[in-house]
């Protein structure tokens, strides 16, 4: 019990961030900083992520947002901008690569399946996005968390298993299986998994 309480306290800032994202917005809230497209590479593959940052000098806490199976979408853009409005540098990773934007669930399933079946490739795309975020002058590399829903939830867990040196990861409704469970020994980040007990897809 004490260990569980300590874990919750240690990720309290991230939890506060998540709670704010899920809460209703004030109608008089100021506009959030606009997201901009950021080009970067993962090996030889061109990727296009999204970044939004609050005004002001100095290094800030940052959030890596890993998209769901639909890829970099208007939903990701909205969340990146919302996080920036809360004071975080927010970066939306592009796992699929430049121009790969599923139009429907069928296309999304094929893309997501490609990375679920190749966890090394999945991790490489995530690490490339994280490296791009870490290199920013306005980011404190010691205060980075990664969040993701569904495909993205699986992604942040894979990022943790890769040994990424970040403060924490939060997975919503992510796939919990791993072809290499021994990789859990590489985890440095605090891990918070939020998952419904009656989820029909992940028991």
Residue-level pLDDT at 13: 52
Residue-level pLDDT at 180: 96
Residue-level pLDDT at 32: 83
C-beta of residue 174 within 8 angstroms of C-beta of residue 152 = yes
Residue-level pLDDT at 105: 96
| Residue 90 CB contacts under 8 Å (≥ 6 apart), including other chains | 35, 51, 52, 53, 62, 63, 65, 79, 80, 81, 82, 83, 84
Q: For helices 151-161 and 119-134, give the axis angle rounded to 10 degrees.
A: 80
Structure-token pair, residue 69: 């199976």
Residue 26 has pLDDT above 50, yes or no: no
Tokens 């490739």 sit at which residue?
121
Q: What's the rounded Cα separation, in Å, for the pair 61 and 23?
A: 21
Residue 25 has pLDDT above 70, yes or no: no
Span 169-194, average pLDDT:
96
Residue 7 has pLDDT above 70, yes or no: no
| Residue 193 CB contacts under 8 Å (≥ 6 apart), including other chains | 153, 157, 170, 171, 174, 176
> Other CB atoms closer than 10 Å to residue 177's CB: what's the count?
9
| Residue 100 CB contacts under 8 Å (≥ 6 apart), including other chains | 71, 111
Residue-level pLDDT at 30: 61
- pTM given for the model: 0.86
Closest among 48, 38, 71, 68 to 138, alpha carbons compared: 38
Mean pLDDT for the chain overall: 88
Residue 29: band (very low, low, confident or very high) from pLDDT cuts 50, 70, 90 = low
What share of the chain in percent tops pLDDT 90? Answer: 79
Closest among 151, 124, 145 to 191, alpha carbons compared: 145
Instruction: Give residue-wise pLDDT tens across range 74-125.
Output: 999 999 999 999 999 999 999 999 999 999 999 999 999 999 999 999 999 9
Span 47-52, average pLDDT:
98
Residue 5: band (very low, low, confident or very high) from pLDDT cuts 50, 70, 90 = very low
- Which has the minimum average pLDDT: 3-12, 122-131, 148-157, 166-175? 3-12
Q: What's the rounded Cα separation, in Å, for the pair 50 and 53?
A: 10
| Residue 187 CB contacts under 8 Å (≥ 6 apart), including other chains | 160, 161, 163
């Amino acid at each position: 019990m004490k260990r569980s309480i300590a874990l919750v306290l240690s990720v309290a800032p991230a939890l506060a961030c998540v709670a704010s994202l899920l809460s209703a917005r004030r109608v008089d809230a100021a506009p959030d900083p606009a997201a901009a497209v950021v080009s970067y590479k993962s090996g030889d593959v061109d990727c296009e992520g999204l970044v939004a940052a609050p005004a002001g000098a100095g290094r800030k806490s940052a959030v890596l947002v890993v998209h769901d199976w639909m890829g970099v979408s208007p939903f990701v853009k909205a969340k990146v901008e919302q996080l920036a409005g809360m004071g975080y540098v927010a970066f939306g990773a592009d796992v699929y690569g430049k121009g790969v934007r599923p139009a429907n669930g069928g296309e999304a399933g094929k893309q997501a399946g490609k990375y679920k079946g190749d966890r090394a490739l999945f991790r490489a795309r995530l690490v490339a996005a994280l490296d791009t975020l870490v290199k920013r002058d306005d980011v404190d590399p010691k205060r980075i968390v990664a969040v993701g829903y569904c495909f993205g939830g699986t992604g942040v867990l894979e990022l943790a298993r890769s040994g990424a040196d970040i403060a924490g990861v939060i997975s919503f409704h992510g796939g919990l299986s791993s072809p290499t469970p021994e990789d859990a020994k590489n985890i440095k980040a605090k891990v918070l998994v939020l998952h419904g007990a009656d989820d029909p897809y992940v028991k």
